[in-house]
Structure 1
Amino acid sequence: MGSRSSSLNNVPNGQELQQQTGFSAAHLLRLYERFQFLDKDNRGHLRPEDFEAVLELSENPIGDRIVEAFFKPGQETVDFPSFVRVLAHFRPTEKNRNRDKGQPDPANSRTQKLKFAFRLYDRDRDGKISRAELLQVLREMLGMQVTEEQLQSIAERAIQEADLDKDGAISFDEFRKSLEKVNIDHKMSIRFLE
């Protein structure tokens, strides 16, 4: 434990991040090494183009959206603590973790994972996934594999099934309800800690 703890002292905000995210000291050290690898110019922050070195993102049809999730609106760089807080969404949910009342859900809770996924669709940040936003994601994910008519049909059906208040869009609550039976832990996991 001594060598890990002392090494964690080299990680910016290491102890605090460990408490906030649930990552172990070893995981944080590995994430810091990856961050430094992506930070080729040793600036202490990453720009969107730095993520191009992550093969899994460059091959993912919505990789650009995932990279954007690391950056708050108007923000052009991300520091290590922010980087880790975003990656915490992709940790498995801890079934037996006790949480203090009044504390926010951890980033790896089912609700926080769903909010993160919802933001990938809700491009205009109005709290709803419109038909146009859903179509845009479907085009990015399915590309030339299906016709435009098929994409339109898929989007229409998804909206009809999820849109409980019939306003023509999907709210977060409707999104969450439509994914009740989906194993979010399985869908939202990254093997970046192995």
Structure 2
Amino acid sequence: MGSASSMLTQYDIEEVQEHCNDLFSQQEIVSLYQRFCQLDRNAKGFISADEFLSVPEFAMNPLSQRLLKMVDGLNFKDFVAFLSAFSARASTQQKSELIFKVYDSDCNGKVSFNDILEVLRDLSGSFMSDEQREKVLTQVLQEAGYTRESYLTLDDFVKVLGSYGVKMEVEVPID
């Protein structure tokens, strides 16, 4: 899979499919490879932050700066692995793990009240005041048995999130 301009072999496709836990079909992987090559404008074999920001939907996402920390410099295999959390076949656990990483911006394995508050601020912008965000977050945490002082591990986070469900999917167009 060296350069982005080279074609995928059957072996490459199967290797990527295994790397993403078979969450994408072989046809979907080929389509994702074509999209990866379009984004990798200089055929470096990885996608830079600037190249990700060239995708309007990504650039407009209120969490794009947090996501950029996770995707800057991904090669094709890791690009597909990242996207696999958005597959319709991904489990709630896989989706929750990705969301947890978005909230855990310092990568310490814990999410604090302030970590969640920052994400809520990114998502709601000026539509909510800090006071409103804090009130809503405090209530959600209390309903799940936590306080403002709690640090949520991945398991705790999944427990809190689980009661609200996780819906995030991207359809991969197949040519």
C-alpha separation between the residues in 2 aligned to 1:39 and 1:131? 37
Q: Which has the higher contact order (CA 8 A, sep 6+)?
A: 2
Following superposition, the deviation at residue 62 of structure 1 comes to 0.8
Establish whether residue 109 from structure 1 lines up as the match of residue 91 from structure 2: yes
C-alpha separation between the residues in 2 aligned to 1:45 and 1:163? 42
C-alpha separation between the residues in 1 aligned to 2:16 and 2:110? 31
Counterpart pick for 2:77 among 75, 81, 93: 81
In structure 2, the CA distance between the partners of 1:174 and 1:27, relative to structure 1 (3 Å rule), is: same
Following superposition, the deviation at residue 111 of structure 1 comes to 1.5
Following superposition, the deviation at residue 191 of structure 1 comes to 2.7
In structure 2, the CA distance between the partners of 1:112 and 1:166, relative to structure 1 (3 Å rule), is: same
Question: Is 2:40–2:46's contact at 8 Å kept on the other side of the alignment?
Answer: yes
Per the alignment, residue 102 of structure 1 pairs with none
In structure 2, the CA distance between the partners of 1:134 and 1:183, relative to structure 1 (3 Å rule), is: closer
TM-score where L is the length of structure 1: 0.76
Counterpart pick for 2:120 among 126, 138, 141: 138
Give the total of aligned pairs. Answer: 166
C-alpha separation between the residues in 2 aligned to 1:140 and 1:179? 18
| Aligned AA (1:161) | E
Following superposition, the deviation at residue 26 of structure 1 comes to 1.3
Question: Is 1:8–1:28's contact at 8 Å kept on the other side of the alignment?
Answer: no
Following superposition, the deviation at residue 133 of structure 1 comes to 0.6
C-alpha separation between the residues in 2 aligned to 1:188 and 1:123? 20
In structure 2, the CA distance between the partners of 1:181 and 1:157, relative to structure 1 (3 Å rule), is: closer
Following superposition, the deviation at residue 182 of structure 1 comes to 3.8
Following superposition, the deviation at residue 165 of structure 1 comes to 8.1
CA-to-aligned-CA distance 1:41-95 (integer Å, 9 cap, x gap): 1111111111012121112111222232225xxxxx21111101111111112xx
C-alpha separation between the residues in 1 aligned to 2:156 and 2:128? 26
Partner SS, residue 152 of structure 2? strand
RMSD over aligned Cα atoms? 2.3
In structure 2, the CA distance between the partners of 1:46 and 1:166, relative to structure 1 (3 Å rule), is: closer
Per the alignment, residue 4 of structure 2 pairs with none
CA-to-aligned-CA distance 1:110-151 (integer Å, 9 cap, x gap): 212211111111112222211111111011000000112112
Establish whether residue 13 from structure 1 lines up as the match of residue 12 from structure 2: yes
